[in-house]
């Protein structure tokens, strides 16, 4: 495997995008209200989701529009981040998301495509969404829909699953240059099996790799818009819990993996988010 220079995130956080801050604020509030949600993993992908929804062809008022691009959240446990993003982008009012995880509501802790406008696949078991997205990209090719693209966001932990690499082999072999994979390199697997040097791994499989700061929306949009020579992979280097100090410092990302804030913690996290955003 060819060695690539280690990617370094900037020392200081970028000024947080207003929409990204709104989404993170809603994540904290919905989680505090419902007692559900994976906050750190949702926080790590918010900026990548903004880049995707700023870039791809979609219409929140016509979520099933025939010529739309498709986005699949393969790491379905980041559903809360996904729902809050869809709300900010106009798919439904954020008030609806406050039913998160509650009986008979639309918004489960993993997305259900038959219930949530804008959700293109029901995910939760890892290593499925990427393969569905590949099938969708192949379907677009068969039908000659050359302007459409399929996007999927996978986790680095998810990439312990063999189906991720199986599907990448198939996708590269089938020349699915209309498939974009965002790899959330948030180091969640440092305690078991990290996917080290991910960019070199994807490049070795024949992907068109862009290594980016996963909190720099403009940089990701540029990479997403670049012409694709093969299956495009954005290795998005992120901080799990980016936006609140308590979520990522020390062992925060593990302690908060699936924990919702109590009222006083909610205030603390919102304060930390404000501090990050100036």
Partner 1 sequence: MRTQFRDTVSALGDADEKVVVVLGDISMFQFKNFAEKHSNRFFNMGICENSLISITAGLSSQGLRPFVHTIAPFLVDRCVEQIKLDMCYNEFGGTIVTTGATFDYAWDGATHHTYMDLAILRMLPKMGVCQPGSKKEVDSLIRARYAGADPTYVRLSDNPHGLDIDVTFGKANVLKNSSKKLTVMTAGPIAGNVMEAVKDLDVNIVYFSTIKPIDGEAVRKFKDTPILVVHDAFGLHEAINAEMPGLNTTYQGLPDAFCGWYGTVHDLRKRVGLDPASIRAKAQSMLGQRNF
Binders of partner 1 in range 146-185 (CB under 8 A): 162-163, 166-167, 169-170, 173-174
What's the min distance (Å) between Cβ of 17 and partner 1?
31
What's the min distance (Å) between Cβ of 105 and partner 1?
18
List 46, 79, 140, 247, residue binding partner 1 (CB under 8 A)? 140
The set of residues, in sequence order, having a beta carbon less than 8 Å from that of 41 and lying 6+ positions away, is: 75, 77, 78, 81, 155, 184, 186, 188, 240, 257
> 112 or 221, CB closer to partner 1?
112
Sheet order of strands, 179-185 included: 70-73, 150-155, 179-185, 232-237, 208-213
- Token pair, residue 204, equals 């070795």
Q: What DSSP element (H or E) covers 133? A: helix 129-142
> 42 or 131, CB closer to partner 1?
131
What's the min distance (Å) between Cβ of 110 and partner 1?
10
> 16 or 137, CB closer to partner 1?
137
Size of the site for partner 1 (CB under 8 A): 30
What's the min distance (Å) between Cβ of 174 and partner 1?
7
> 47 or 120, CB closer to partner 1?
120
CA pair distance 242, 223, nearest whole angstrom: 21
Task: Tell me the sheet residues that pair with 153.
Answer: 73, 182
CA pair distance 129, 132, nearest whole angstrom: 5
> 65 or 225, CB closer to partner 1?
65
- Token pair, residue 60, equals 């929140």
| Beta-strand runs (E) in the chain | 70-73, 150-155, 179-185, 208-213, 232-237
> 124 or 194, CB closer to partner 1?
124
Binders of partner 1 in range 77-136 (CB under 8 A): 113-114, 120-122, 124-125, 127-128, 131-136
What's the min distance (Å) between Cβ of 259 and partner 1?
26
Find out whether 219 and 213 touch, Cβ atoms under 8 Å.
yes
What's the min distance (Å) between Cβ of 63 and partner 1?
14
What's the min distance (Å) between Cβ of 80 and partner 1?
20
- Token pair, residue 240, equals 């799990």
> 119 or 239, CB closer to partner 1?
119
Instruction: Read off φ and ψ for residue 274, nearest 5 degrees.
Output: -60, -45
Q: What residue ranges bind partner 1 (CB under 8 A)?
A: 113-114, 120-122, 124-125, 127-128, 131-143, 162-163, 166-167, 169-170, 173-174
């Amino acid at each position: 495997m060819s060695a690539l220079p280690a990617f370094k995130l900037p020392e200081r956080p970028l000024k947080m995008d207003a929409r990204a801050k709104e989404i993170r604020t809603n994540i904290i509030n919905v989680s505090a209200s419902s007692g559900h949600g994976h906050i750190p993993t949702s926080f790590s992908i918010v900026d990548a989701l903004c880049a995707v929804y700023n870039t791809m062809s979609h219409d929140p008022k016509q979520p099933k529009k025939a010529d739309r691009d498709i986005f699949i959240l393969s790491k379905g446990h980041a559903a809360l981040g996904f729902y809050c993003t869809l709300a900010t982008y106009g798919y439904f009012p954020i008030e609806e998301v406050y039913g998160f995880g509650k009986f008979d509501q639309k918004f489960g802790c993993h997305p259900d495509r038959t219930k949530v406008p804008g959700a293109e696949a029901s995910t939760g078991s890892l290593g499925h969404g990427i393969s569905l997205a590949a099938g969708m990209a192949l379907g677009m090719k068969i039908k000659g829909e050359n302007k459409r693209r399929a996007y999927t966001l996978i986790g680095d932990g998810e990439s312990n699953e063999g189906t991720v690499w199986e599907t990448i082999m198939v996708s590269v072999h089938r020349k699915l240059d209309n498939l974009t994979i965002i790899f959330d390199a948030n180091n969640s697997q440092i305690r078991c099996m990290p996917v080290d040097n991910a960019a070199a791994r994807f490049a070795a499989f024949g992907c068109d790799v862009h290594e980016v700061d996963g909190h720099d929306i403009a940089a990701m949009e540029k990479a997403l818009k670049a012409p694709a020579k093969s299956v495009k992979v954005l290795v998005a280097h992120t901080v799990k819990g980016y936006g609140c100090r308590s979520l990522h410092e020390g062992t925060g990302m593990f302690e908060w993996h699936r924990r919702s804030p109590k009222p006083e913690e909610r205030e603390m996290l919102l304060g930390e988010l404000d501090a990050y955003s100036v």
